[in-house]
Structure formats: C-alpha cells, structure tokens
C-alpha cells in the first residue's frame, strides 16, 4: 500500500486538520490604506516593518504605494489635499523682478525630481510636465 491511499482498516493514525470559518479577504478603507502608506513613506521607515505591524505583506504595501503615486488613494472630501511648503530664496538687491526678465526662475521638487523653469511658461504646459514627473516616479 502506498502512502497516498486512505485505508480505514489501517492501524496508522492519521491527522486531519479541519479549517472552519469564512476565509474571506479583509477590506481596507481608502483612508486606512492612505494612513499606512503615509506611515511607510515617513523618513527611516521600513516597508517590511510597517507591513508586519499592520498584518499585511510587503508586496501589498508596495502595491498601495504605487496606487498612491498614481492618485488612486485619494481620501474623502472632508480632508482636502494639503499644500506643500516651498522655500524661496531672496536674491541680492530688489525683490521685484520685472516681467519677462531672463533671470527669473522657479524650482519645484516633486517625487524626488527637481524641475527648473526659467522665463515664462504657460500654466497648462507646466501642469503637464509636473504630472509626467509624478507618473514617472
């Protein structure tokens, strides 16, 4: 007799494990996902440690982070998006820069990339560039 055949007359005791309950998936709210993603993006945080603390796999957390970068984890309307602080450096001399001056520039750091804009640029074009940078990261 081979080991894969069930023989009720056999004297060997076999162990059978019965799993009860409903083995369904957990449902995470968008707010909970966003909170966990924000925790994993904090400086010095380990994705594996954050995932373990919340009882999920690191791969799932990486998926949520990808969704957040693509804009898929937007919270509810009660919490509007926050503004990002900017750092403005004062140049020597006057703070007023005449329109069309060639020396004027804007520097934006987004998603780990720095976008420098010199001269005049249409707002729609700048928005497209920033969206492309966010998608690429």
Q: Summarize the confidence of residues 35-39 as an average pLDDT.
A: 89
Nearest to 58 by CA among 67, 66, 47: 47
**This prediction's pTM:** 0.40
Predicted confidence (pLDDT) per residue in 70-124, tens digit: 887 775 545 555 566 666 665 544 444 455 555 567 788 877 778 888 877 777 8
Q: Which residue has the tokens 């796999």?
A: 57
Q: Which two tokens stand for residue 4?
A: 């894969």
Tell me the C-alpha distance between 29 and 52, whole Å: 18
Nearest to 16 by CA among 6, 27, 31, 26: 6
Considering the domain 15-75, what is its CATH architecture?
Answer: Orthogonal Bundle (1.10)
Tell me the C-alpha distance between 26 and 10, whole Å: 42
Q: Where are the domains of the chain?
A: 15-75, 102-137
| pLDDT band, very low/low/confident/very high, at 48 (cuts 50, 70, 90) | very high
Q: How many residues does the chain have?
A: 137
Tell me the C-alpha distance between 127 and 133, whole Å: 10
Q: Given a cut of 80, is residue 45 above it in pLDDT? A: yes
């Amino acid at each position: 007799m081979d080991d894969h055949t069930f023989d009720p007359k056999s004297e060997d005791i076999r162990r059978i494990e019965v799993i009860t309950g409903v083995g369904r998936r957990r449902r995470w709210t968008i707010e909970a996902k966003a909170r966990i993603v924000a925790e994993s993006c904090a400086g010095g945080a380990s994705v594996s440690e954050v995932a373990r603390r919340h009882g999920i796999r690191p791969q799932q957390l990486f998926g949520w982070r990808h969704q957040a970068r693509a804009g898929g984890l937007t919270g509810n309307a009660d919490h509007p998006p926050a503004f990002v602080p900017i750092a403005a450096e004062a140049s020597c001399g006057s703070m007023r820069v005449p329109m069309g001056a060639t020396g004027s520039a804007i520097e934006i750091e987004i998603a780990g990339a720095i976008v420098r804009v010199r001269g005049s640029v249409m707002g729609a074009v700048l928005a497209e560039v920033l969206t492309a940078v966010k998608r690429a990261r």
